[in-house]
A = this chain, B = another copy of it.
Amino acid sequence: MMGNVCLPAGMPERELEQIDLLVKERVRLKKGDLLYRQEESLDALFGLRTGSVKTQLEDASGQVQITGFFLPGEVIGLDGMLDSLHASNAVAMEDSEVCVVKLEDIDEVSRYAPSLQGQVRRIMSKEISRSHQVLLALGSMRSEARLAAFLINLSQRLSALGYSSTDFVMRMSREEIGNYLGLTLETVSRLFSRFARDGLIRVSQREVRILDLDALKQLAGQVS
> Are B132 and A79 within 8 A (Cβ)?
yes
> Chain B residues near A105 (CB, 8 Å)?
none
- Write the nearest CB–CB distance from A64 to chain B, whole angstroms: 8
**Nearest CB in chain B to that of A179: its residue:** B139
Binding site for B on A (CB under 8 A): 57, 59-61, 63-67, 78-82, 87-88, 106-107, 110-111, 114, 117-118, 120-122, 124-129, 131-136, 138-140, 179-182, 221-223
> Chain B residues near A121 (CB, 8 Å)?
81, 120, 124
> Chain B residues near A87 (CB, 8 Å)?
129, 132
Partner of A125, one of B59, B82, B179, B221: B82
> Chain B residues near A138 (CB, 8 Å)?
135, 138-139, 182
A129 and B65 in contact, given A136-B59, A182-B139, A221-B60 (Cβ under 8 angstroms): no
| Copies of this polypeptide in the complex | 2
**Which of A118, A124, A132 has the most C-beta atoms of chain B within 10 angstroms of its own C-beta?**
A132
Bound Cα distance from A60 to B220, whole angstroms: 11
> Are B81 and A125 within 8 A (Cβ)?
yes
- Write the nearest CB–CB distance from A40 to chain B, whole angstroms: 15
- Write the nearest CB–CB distance from A217 to chain B, whole angstroms: 10
Bound Cα distance from A98 to B173, whole angstroms: 45
Bound Cα distance from A181 to B139, whole angstroms: 6
Partner of A80, one of B65, B125, B127, B140: B125
> Are A133 and B57 within 8 A (Cβ)?
yes
**Nearest CB in chain B to that of A141: its residue:** B63
> Are B124 and A117 within 8 A (Cβ)?
no
- Write the nearest CB–CB distance from A128 to chain B, whole angstroms: 5
> Are A132 and B67 within 8 A (Cβ)?
yes
> Chain B residues near A64 (CB, 8 Å)?
140
